[in-house]
Structure 1
Amino acid sequence: MLYFFVAKKNEILLCEEFLQEIRHKLQVEIFGELKTFKSVFGYLMELAKTKHFTLVIDEFQEFNTINPSVYSDMQNIWDSQKGTAKINLVLCGSVYSLMSRIFEHAKEPLFGRATSRIHLKAFTISTLKEILADYHPNYTNDDLLAFYLITGGVAKYVELLIEEQAFTFESILNVILIENSLFLDEGKNVLIDEFGKEYGNYFSILSLIASSKNSRVEIESIMEMQTGGFLDRLESEFNLISKVKPIFAKPNSRSVKYHINDNFLNFWFRFIYKHRSVVEIGNLSYLKEIVKRDYQTYSGRILEKYFIKKMIEEGNFSAIGTYWEKSNQNEIDIVAVNDLEKSIIFGEVKRKKENISIAGLKDKSRNLEAQLKDYHSEFIGLSIEDM
């Protein structure tokens, strides 16, 4: 196997690194100078006719800034030689929008060339529990919620916290909010390449959504500008937010809220980016106090997301969502439907079980129940004890 990492550097220097990898891994002599990626890739495709190997190119989207013609060069070489070259070509990238454009936009040279795709997803709830049990066997549900709230099951964040042996809310906070922490700049590092020069507007919108200003009307009233295009791109191009409608809402319903998909980015925009002036002067102990002050309310919303994700993974329902009526009246945290069994579950989620009101939940569910007269209804309360 060959592994090429496309760093942000001169193409000639990159090719020198790639040639060293080829000589070392494949034990071949290379004659002449190969100073362009076109010539390196052409050489490898010829070599693959007699020597079978896997080629992994990581951060493949970086060629877009180093030399965009690489994609059309690869297309020509691949199309002409793929029938005789025995090569397993794996192309990876971390900038979602660019990787999507390279392979999924009809005008791009490599459109339609991919034979398989992996969109790397977060660990499931059950896997996250297994990981915690391996490294912190006596974890509490509070620990599980804090771990899920920060990582969302994303392998990179899970690994960083495990390396630091951070499994409780306090210890996790001490890892994230400390001088030189990798987490402090993570949002910028992940997203500035995605957004380019307009990142300021995108960051402002994401910060508002993370602070529960999650309707377009609220966002536009605060920013005093039209945000429809930005919201559409955040959803469809960048895959960072999701449009949420009340369950059973009509497709053209204008009752829409936006949620950030990634748990850590939600936390980063809610606390770190929002209080960036505090971060810039290094007053991280002050920021810790802000997080602690707001944690009960903030983690309550993440707990709702946790139970929805857990129920989706259990695979017992045909539809799962939330519900609300005009002006956010009759909000229901979880509505889970099983069309085969003609059953519907209405769920209320609170951190503390004693704060759950099943009578109130039944009252809020009347209008929805009336639409589903043939369905058997069940009303449940979910708290941190049920994780």
Structure 2
Amino acid sequence: MKFYDREIETQTLRKIEETSRQYAQMTVITGRRRIGKTTLIKHAYGADDMIYFFVARKSETLLCAELADTIRDRLGEEIGEFTSMAKLFSAIMQIAKRRHFTLVFDEFQNFKYVNEAFFSEMQNVWDSNKQEARINLIICGSLYSMMTKIFDDRKEPLYGRATSRMRLREFPLRTLREIMNDNYPDYTPDDLLAMYMITGGVAKYVEQLVQAGAFTKDKILDSVLSFGSYFIEEGKELLSDEFGKDYGNYFSILSAIASGFNERGEIKSYTGIEAGGYLDKLENTYDLLYRYRPYLAALGSRNVKYGIKDNFLNFWFRFIYKYRSAVEIGNLNYVREKVGADYDTFSGWILERYFRQFYRETGLYNIVTNYWEKDGRNEIDLIAVNEADREIIIGEIKRNKSRIDLHKLEAKSETICRKQKGWKVGYVGLSLDDMES
């Protein structure tokens, strides 16, 4: 698959590289696994004078030997033999005083398993040498909680050392449409929705489907739920390291939310788990959940729901994890039938998410959310607000346009209009047919 999007990120990395020719730079790049961090770096810098090093969980001696060999191969520098990563990093910084180069540490958080003291040792080496070194140090990590702790916790030695920070996110909607146009210009809105539902714009997932030639709704679902599919074990592989031994409870809570039980009481009833502490960590430590209230609700309102941020994980927990007994015996046809039976309902909810993302990406609104009143009355799928201009867009979203009733939508909006008296209010009905607009 060709390289898509990331123009701003590429330009930023190249500017950082230019700065590093005079002043040492430490850039920290984070983002979920499969988002395309390594591909971006290789695209931005190419192979010239770039040392790419994947930090594997192996002994420090073996890791030192591997990195020293890489230095010799890439820079032609005889660097000696080391059993201490800190001493090897010090030698690398000495080379950077004589010549400029880019060094990439990928999966940087794995140093914790190699030598937990390395972060403080690295800090001492960096602080002692950065004034004279001309190094472009790029640090990548996929475990959000651990990378955040390493660089954002004031108690950690590398806190405040990064000269630049970059959070890589999913492809925007326009890029997904571009990919579909490039590869299958006859795609339907339902095809695009299925691509969005499974990938959410995560580069690796898009690449998997492109390589499989899966561009229609049915081919996408068949590819995901086929024997040997890349996607079957993906949720477990993504999150087991994050959650550790507690992963069972976290998985149960995420499965409940993906199945539509998104209030705290509902989650407890569904799972039997007192979920408060887990929900807090899923939201604030692991960055997997978002908490939302209806538009105009007070900040301290207990009218709170939870959602899974990641589209693929929503699908994985709703269908693959939920029916894992069938998955484990290889009965993927059973899971495929369950997806088919629930597809209109589940994809309708994904369509709501698509249009809320669409309105966010316009850049015209500072609030994009939804609305409901007590006991779930007067639910509204889309609220897009421009507070500066005192404008509100109120939308109903359905797969089938014939099911949209704007008169009922206006009636459901009475409370909002009363509270925002004098604001300009627009009503929209959005369906599959509007996904290209």
Pairwise TM-score range, normalised by the shorter structure: over 0.9
> 1:238 is matched with which residue?
286
> 1:36 is matched with which residue?
84
> 1:57 is matched with which residue?
105
CA–CA distance in 1 between the matches of 2:215 and 2:120? 47
The amino acid that maps onto 1:55 is L
> 2:66 is matched with which residue?
17
- Confirm whether residue 118 of structure 1 aligns to residue 166 of structure 2: yes
The amino acid that maps onto 1:40 is L
Q: CA deviation at 1:180?
A: 1.7
Q: CA deviation at 1:107?
A: 1.0
Name the SS of the counterpart of 2:303 in structure 1: coil
CA–CA distance in 2 between the matches of 1:265 and 1:185? 11
Which 10-residue stretch deviates more, 218-227 or 145-154? 218-227
- Confirm whether residue 191 of structure 1 aligns to residue 239 of structure 2: yes
CA–CA distance in 1 between the matches of 2:366 and 2:70? 49
> 1:101 is matched with which residue?
149
Provide, for residues 273-326 of structure 1, a one-character-per-residue CA deviation record: whole Å limited to 9, x for no partner: 000000000001111111111110000000000001001111122321100011
The amino acid that maps onto 1:51 is R
Name the SS of the counterpart of 2:372 in structure 1: strand
* TM alignment of 1:161-172, pairs within 5 A: 161-172=209-220
> 2:6 is matched with which residue?
none
Q: CA deviation at 1:169?
A: 1.4
The amino acid that maps onto 2:388 is L
- Confirm whether residue 203 of structure 1 aligns to residue 251 of structure 2: yes
Q: 1:226 aligns with which of 263, 268, 274?
A: 274
Q: 2:424 aligns with which of 346, 365, 376?
A: 376
CA–CA distance in 1 between the matches of 2:168 and 2:72? 31
CA–CA distance in 2 between the matches of 1:328 and 1:361? 15
The amino acid that maps onto 1:8 is R
Which 10-residue stretch deviates more, 340-349 or 243-252? 340-349
Q: CA deviation at 1:38?
A: 1.1
Question: Which segments of structure 1 move beyond 3 Å, counting only runs of 4 or more?
Answer: none
CA–CA distance in 2 between the matches of 1:222 and 1:211? 10
Q: CA deviation at 1:23?
A: 0.5
- Confirm whether residue 324 of structure 1 aligns to residue 372 of structure 2: yes
Q: CA deviation at 1:376?
A: 2.1
* TM alignment of 1:134-153, pairs within 5 A: 134-153=182-201
Provide, for residues 44-102 of structure 1, a one-character-per-residue CA deviation record: whole Å limited to 9, x for no partner: 01111001111100000111112111111101100111111111111101111110011
Paired-residue identity, %:
53
Name the SS of the counterpart of 2:164 in structure 1: coil
Q: CA deviation at 1:125?
A: 0.6
- Confirm whether residue 132 of structure 1 aligns to residue 180 of structure 2: yes
Name the SS of the counterpart of 2:79 in structure 1: coil
Name the SS of the counterpart of 1:330 in structure 2: coil
The amino acid that maps onto 1:13 is L
The amino acid that maps onto 2:62 is L
CA–CA distance in 1 between the matches of 2:167 and 2:389? 33
Q: CA deviation at 1:36?
A: 1.9
- Confirm whether residue 26 of structure 1 aligns to residue 75 of structure 2: yes
CA–CA distance in 1 between the matches of 2:259 and 2:304? 16
Number of corresponding residues: 386
> 1:8 is matched with which residue?
57
The amino acid that maps onto 1:14 is L
Q: CA deviation at 1:128?
A: 1.1
Which 10-residue stretch deviates more, 231-240 or 133-142? 133-142
The amino acid that maps onto 1:63 is F
Contact 2:261 2:270 in 1 (8 A): no
The amino acid that maps onto 2:266 is E
> 1:336 is matched with which residue?
384
Q: CA deviation at 1:223?
A: 2.5
CA–CA distance in 1 between the matches of 2:60 and 2:233? 28
Q: CA deviation at 1:193?
A: 0.5
CA–CA distance in 2 between the matches of 1:338 and 1:163? 41
Provide, for residues 135-173 of structure 1, a one-character-per-residue CA deviation record: whole Å limited to 9, x for no partner: 111111111100001111111111111111111111111
Question: What is the CA RMSD across the aligned residues, in angstroms?
Answer: 1.0
The amino acid that maps onto 2:132 is T
Which 10-residue stretch deviates more, 330-339 or 93-102? 330-339
Provide, for residues 313-343 of structure 1, a one-character-per-residue CA deviation record: whole Å limited to 9, x for no partner: 1112232110001111110000112233332
CA–CA distance in 2 between the matches of 1:339 and 1:8? 49
Q: CA deviation at 1:225?
A: 3.1
Compute the TM-score of the two structures, normalised by the length of structure 1: 0.98
Q: 1:79 aligns with which of 108, 127, 133?
A: 127
Q: CA deviation at 1:176?
A: 1.0
The amino acid that maps onto 2:326 is V
CA–CA distance in 2 between the matches of 1:12 and 1:84? 28
- Confirm whether residue 180 of structure 1 aligns to residue 228 of structure 2: yes
The amino acid that maps onto 1:261 is K
Structure 2 unaligned regions, length at least 5: 1-49
CA–CA distance in 2 between the matches of 1:347 and 1:130? 26
> 1:212 is matched with which residue?
260
Q: CA deviation at 1:227?
A: 1.1
CA–CA distance in 2 between the matches of 1:224 and 1:207? 13
Q: 2:361 aligns with which of 310, 313, 329?
A: 313
Name the SS of the counterpart of 2:228 in structure 1: coil
